[in-house]
Structure 1
Amino acid sequence: MESGNIVEYIDRQKIMCAVVLEVKNQRLRLLTESNREVNLSPNRLAHTYKTRLDLSMGRNKMVDTLKEIVGRRNALINNVDIKELWEVLNTEQEWIDLKTMTEFCFPDSPNDDHESAVVRAFFKNRFYFKFQRDRFFPNTQDQVERKIAHEREAARRNRIIQEGGDWLANVINDNDPLIPEDKLEIVDLLNSFYLFGREHKNYDLGRAILARAGIDPDEELFNVLIKLGVFRENENIDLYRYDIATVFPDEVNEYTTRLIASSQDSLDTTHRKDLTMLPLMTIDGQMTLDFDDAIS
């Protein structure tokens, strides 16, 4: 490793191109394509290339040159058909080095730009190959299918968070919000989230939606669900939380109807005295709706 070498490293899930300004005490001082200086261990490098820059050209010129190099390399990515490579190579189940893989993709005199394009393409698409420094290993058919399914689920989850969160944020400011057909799933999810909390299978998803909408799950969610017509203001939440029936079954209603029809005399109030004018004293709270502990 010498000053002037072009190198690449991974920073925040992005491949960065840089030139080595100085090698000192097993550390590299680099100038990146974004005109930043960073200090790295050589172990952080994803790849080192033969291409070198003349450090005497000046900082601005070096940054411009790095940007030109990155542009060329990114343009070559479209020539790397990873799925087609996998279809040819997956039966081998052997590690393939970067030089060989580059020759598969660019058979006519490949150079550093071609090698970088291969690295960038495989870094971007990780469905078909395991990717380690300068080598690749084809995934099995089952692994590929699971990775693709996982990616689709992640994309679906992100879409739900984004669209659901943005819609809820608008609901807060709407006096009479309507629930579109495509948001019924969101409302059902938030209903279950409120009732069951961490026990709900989609707890993390619900929390992410609320975070995007800026809604406090403990202080504000219940009022949002009231506004959406899911709950009434004085809803007995435990009935839903513990799946307690709120209506009598049909057979009970039918039996009651028959009982009333056969016992009309028992409903005769002729010999009853109306005492509803008497004052009551109750130990129930002032806000209660059910006075069941009282004397008159």
Structure 2
Amino acid sequence: MTMTPPGTIIEYLDSGRFVCGLVLQDSNNRLRLLNQNGREMNLPASRVVTVSKTKHQINTSREDRIALLKEMAALRADLTDAVPLEEIWELASEEEESVFPADFLAELSFGENLTDDQSAAFLRAVFTDRFFFKYKNEMVNVHTPEQVEQLRHQRRKEKEKEAILTTGAAYLQAIMRGEQVTAEQWPDQKRILGWIADFVLFESEADQADVVRQLLKKAELHQPNQAYRLLVRAGVWGNDENLPLLRAEQGEILIV
């Protein structure tokens, strides 16, 4: 593996976020570096995403080095927001090849003579968006139009689920507090309470069991029988609802 000289600015991912680091030493595929948060650490070289061509001084004060890294991180974040990723994808899709060096695609946005910041910003955009490109083995793969549409559809479904969980949890808590929640306030009320009823009756065999588990967890309804009490408070069931009978009736409906 190529050595990374001291003074190189690298970027790595930490909990999904890009972090800039100034390399102080490369030893046995581990980089000793100072990152933008002022932390000195040893980083496996395999975690490095971008490497600067420009070398920077490492014998300046610690404060100056951290200030440099923070300034660079802020600039790259601003440049990332301005990358027209869909336009670049449209141009790349016209090529016969489907795999490109990152800098080749970055030049479609920033022009020739890329700076380290521009090159890094393009890769940040690729990692952030994920619809149009995929970075793999130090190359950028261009998604097909079918892949893009599939990823967009998947994201729409995820956002719908997030909305159901966030909104639903708030209304479930309101119901448990004894508040009146109308269909106008919560249009999904009947559907979601139906999911919860199925879950109480059939547990893991219910069609929306996973969603209901997440919903109850988000609403902090962790205790046994809280889902049952919720349905009673919502007026779906009575205090002494005959659950075995309901299971049998639901089973007959499924058979029919």
Same fold by TM-score greater than 0.5: yes
Matched-pair contact (CA < 8 Å) for 1:129–1:138: yes
* Residue 241 of structure 2: aligned partner: 235
What is the deviation of 1:50?
1.5
CA distance in 1, matches of 2:57, 2:247: 70
Amino acid at match of 1:206: V
* Residue 40 of structure 1: aligned partner: 43
Aligned match for 1:58, one of 57, 61, 64: 61
Aligned match for 2:85, one of 78, 82, 93: 82
CA distance in 2, matches of 1:217, 1:100: 56
What is the deviation of 1:38?
2.5
Instruction: Mark the CA change 1:68 to 1:166 in structure 2 (over 3 Å): closer, same or farther.
Output: same
* Residue 267 of structure 1: aligned partner: none
Q: Looking at CA atoms only, which structure, 1 or 2, has the larger radius of gyration?
A: 1
Amino acid at match of 2:154: H
What is the deviation of 1:106?
0.8
* Residue 114 of structure 2: aligned partner: 110
| Percent identity between the two aligned chains | 28
What is the deviation of 1:81?
1.3
CA distance in 2, matches of 1:131, 1:158: 27
Which string of whole-angstrom CA distances, capped at 9 and with x for unpartnered residues, describes residues 28-84 of structure 1?
A: 122111222232111110111123332222222211111111111111123321111
CA distance in 2, matches of 1:185, 1:37: 52
* Residue 10 of structure 1: aligned partner: 13
CA distance in 2, matches of 1:125, 1:245: 45
CA distance in 1, matches of 2:161, 2:138: 33
Aligned match for 1:135, one of 109, 134, 139: 139
Aligned match for 2:212, one of 206, 209, 223: 206
Query: Deviation above 4 Å: which 4+ runs of structure 1?
Result: none
Matched-pair contact (CA < 8 Å) for 1:4–1:20: yes
Amino acid at match of 1:43: S
Matched-pair contact (CA < 8 Å) for 1:127–1:144: yes
* Residue 100 of structure 1: aligned partner: 104
- TM normalised by structure 2 equals 0.88
- Provide the secondary structure at the position in 2 that maps to 1:70: helix
Does 1:19 pair with 2:22? yes
Aligned match for 1:220, one of 215, 226, 251: 226
Instruction: Give the unaligned 5+ runs of structure 2.
Output: none
Q: What is the number of equivalent residue pairs in this alignment?
A: 245
- Provide the secondary structure at the position in 2 that maps to 1:131: strand
CA distance in 2, matches of 1:5, 1:39: 15
CA distance in 1, matches of 2:232, 2:69: 57
CA distance in 1, matches of 2:102, 2:111: 13
What is the deviation of 1:100?
0.8
Matched-pair contact (CA < 8 Å) for 2:12–2:18: yes
* Residue 189 of structure 1: aligned partner: 195
Amino acid at match of 1:136: V
* Residue 183 of structure 2: aligned partner: 180
Amino acid at match of 1:106: F
Amino acid at match of 2:209: Y
- Provide the secondary structure at the position in 1 that maps to 2:37: coil
- Provide the secondary structure at the position in 2 that maps to 1:55: coil
Matched-pair contact (CA < 8 Å) for 2:22–2:35: yes
CA distance in 2, matches of 1:240, 1:72: 61
Instruction: Mark the CA change 1:244 to 1:166 in structure 2 (over 3 Å): closer, same or farther.
Output: closer
What is the deviation of 1:122?
0.8
CA distance in 2, matches of 1:229, 1:203: 21
Matched-pair contact (CA < 8 Å) for 2:127–2:134: no
Matched-pair contact (CA < 8 Å) for 1:47–1:133: no
Q: Cα RMSD over matched residues?
A: 2.0
Which string of whole-angstrom CA distances, capped at 9 and with x for unpartnered residues, describes residues 210-233 of structure 1?
A: 111110263311011101011111
CA distance in 2, matches of 1:64, 1:133: 31
Matched-pair contact (CA < 8 Å) for 2:168–2:215: yes
Amino acid at match of 2:82: N
